[in-house]
A = this chain, B = another copy of it.
Amino acid sequence: MTSSERDTPPVTRLLGEFVATHPSRGWDDRVEREARRTLTNWLGCAIGASRHPSVEAVLAAIRELAPSEQATVLGRDDRVDMASAALVNGVSAHAFDFDDTHLKTIIHPAAPIASAALALAEQTGAPGRLLVDALVLGVEVACRVGNAVYPDHYDRGWHITGSVGMLGAAAACARVLGLDPAHTSMALGIAASQPVGVREQFGSMTKSLHAGAAARNGVTAALLARHGFTASERALEAKRGLMQTFSTKSDWSEIIAALGTRFEISFNAYKPFACGVVIHPAIDGCIQLRDAHHLRAEQIERVTLKVHPLVIELTGKTAPRSGLEGKFSVYHACAASILFGQAAESEFSDAIVARSDVVGLRQRVTAEIDPALGEDAADVTIVCRDGRQLNVFVAHALGSLERPMSDAGLERKFHGLVDPVLGQERADTLIAQCAEISGCAHLDALTALARPSG
């Protein structure tokens, strides 16, 4: 061991001890509330995308393994073994790119972590309280390791949701299984050899697989550790351990400082709109003006946007030809959000992108770069045919930490995702179930509600 290695704190062991021994609900109400919101948002995304082609494909592949029926595939009547359920639910939770974001690291924590924890908790008959504890602690592990290596690790090409998410999933699963500190550290160590995902996959189904495979790897790592499988006790921090192998930056203090008092799930954010965050400020402004002035498309002469340079670079498609391309068109997103008052997954369907009123309004949207604007800011002007000039400056888009989505907004989002799959009434019951989850003796009610036949 070199002197610099002696100076490296034993973070694999420290995180293992923390996950195994931190008291249940050992945090304030704000953290607890964010955990429930994270869970609700994740559940809505997974159910909403439960018929997505990527989910159909991964389920078809899993069926070839003739899996046992241990755990629920959210939004469907399929049941598969718990490792496969973690995989499939991780894929569906991320498939719409509509899930939560830990903004400091761009990790989408719930897809890998909640998917792993629920599958294991359902099968083992764990109470709801344990699921929430596991989620908070799993997010803590993933996001702290993420903080330590971001941005270098991400810049190098890793998709951080899958490449550190498996650590959070393993931590959550170790907690669900009640592993002691040493075995929890082993679970983290086993997971440390299984990062998932490179950014080149963005735009393909494999992007969602990153979240799903990280979830599956977390389940199996915890099960392996439970049965005495061993890993290095320094798997994360050693010179040839994960962090120094896949990142040039490893800031250990990000892992250790205020561990157990500051909780990263507090900084989790939720997308109000079903597209990349860069165009959220413009959509937000359009909806604000629409709602304030009860605007209809035929009243509008033109829409003029001032936006951050990245908006044009990433979402500058003026004539999108599909729903997916619509997500990369600030023009479409703004037109649709004015017409429908929202920009949910339904506003990015092939049909909506091709509708004549949408196309007509889209062609009256222009955008110019204002380098002075922040990434979550936009200036929106709508000129009406009656001569009115309506303007709003969005300093921080809805869904940012400065302007988080309200509980009511999250419920509307949940309904937008879940109603088409399970109906409005069931969606309401699920929202109520999530709100009371920490008092549930087990998770059977939640998972039954998440199945069409349930």
Q: Give me the interface of A with B, judged by CB distance under 8 Å.
A: 53-54, 56-58, 60-61, 64-68, 70, 81-84, 156-159, 162, 189-190, 192-201, 203-206, 209-210, 213, 220, 223-224, 226-232, 234-235, 238-242, 244-246
CA distance A43 to B308 in the complex (A): 60
CA distance A223 to B67 in the complex (A): 14
A61 close to B193 (CB less than 8 A): no
Name 9 A/B residue pairs within 8 A (Cβ), A-sorted: A56-B227, A58-B229, A65-B67, A66-B68, A158-B245, A198-B235, A198-B241, A198-B245, A200-B245
Q: Which of A81, A162, A201, A241 has the most CB of B within 10 A?
A: A201
Q: A66-B81, A70-B65, A196-B193 are in contact. Are A203 and B232 (CB under 8 A)?
A: yes
Q: For A229, what are the chain B residues with a Cβ–Cβ distance below 8 Å?
A: 54, 57-58, 61, 205-206, 209
A240 close to B157 (CB less than 8 A): yes
CA distance A189 to B205 in the complex (A): 11
A252 nearest CB across to chain B (Å): 16
Beyond A190-B209, A209-B224, 10 additional contacts (C-beta under 8 Å) are A61-B226, A158-B245, A190-B206, A193-B197, A193-B198, A198-B245, A200-B232, A200-B234, A201-B232, A204-B231
A194 close to B193 (CB less than 8 A): no
A206 close to B223 (CB less than 8 A): no
CA distance A224 to B216 in the complex (A): 15
Q: For A157, what are the chain B residues with a Cβ–Cβ distance below 8 Å?
A: 239-241, 244-245
A238 close to B200 (CB less than 8 A): yes
Give which listed residue, B189, B205, B239, contacts A206 with CB less than 8 A.
B189
Q: For A70, what are the chain B residues with a Cβ–Cβ distance below 8 Å?
A: 65-66
Give which listed residue, B68, B201, B224, contacts A235 with CB less than 8 A.
B201
Q: Which of A60, A157, A194 has the most CB of B within 10 A?
A: A194
Q: A68-B68, A224-B57 are in contact. Are A230 and B213 (CB under 8 A)?
A: no
Q: For A81, what are the chain B residues with a Cβ–Cβ distance below 8 Å?
A: 65-67
Q: For A156, what are the chain B residues with a Cβ–Cβ distance below 8 Å?
A: 245
Q: For A230, what are the chain B residues with a Cβ–Cβ distance below 8 Å?
A: 54, 204-206
Give which listed residue, B61, B190, B204, B238, contacts A232 with CB less than 8 A.
B204
Q: CB-nearest residue of chain B relative to A59?
A: B227
Q: For A241, what are the chain B residues with a Cβ–Cβ distance below 8 Å?
A: 157, 198, 200
Q: For A64, what are the chain B residues with a Cβ–Cβ distance below 8 Å?
A: 82, 223
Q: For A213, what are the chain B residues with a Cβ–Cβ distance below 8 Å?
A: 193-194
Q: For A190, what are the chain B residues with a Cβ–Cβ distance below 8 Å?
A: 206, 209
Q: For A223, what are the chain B residues with a Cβ–Cβ distance below 8 Å?
A: 61, 64-65
A242 close to B193 (CB less than 8 A): no
CA distance A196 to B245 in the complex (A): 12
Give which listed residue, B82, B200, B201, B209, contacts A239 with CB less than 8 A.
B200
B220 close to A193 (CB less than 8 A): no
B193 close to A231 (CB less than 8 A): no
Q: For A67, what are the chain B residues with a Cβ–Cβ distance below 8 Å?
A: 65, 67-68, 81
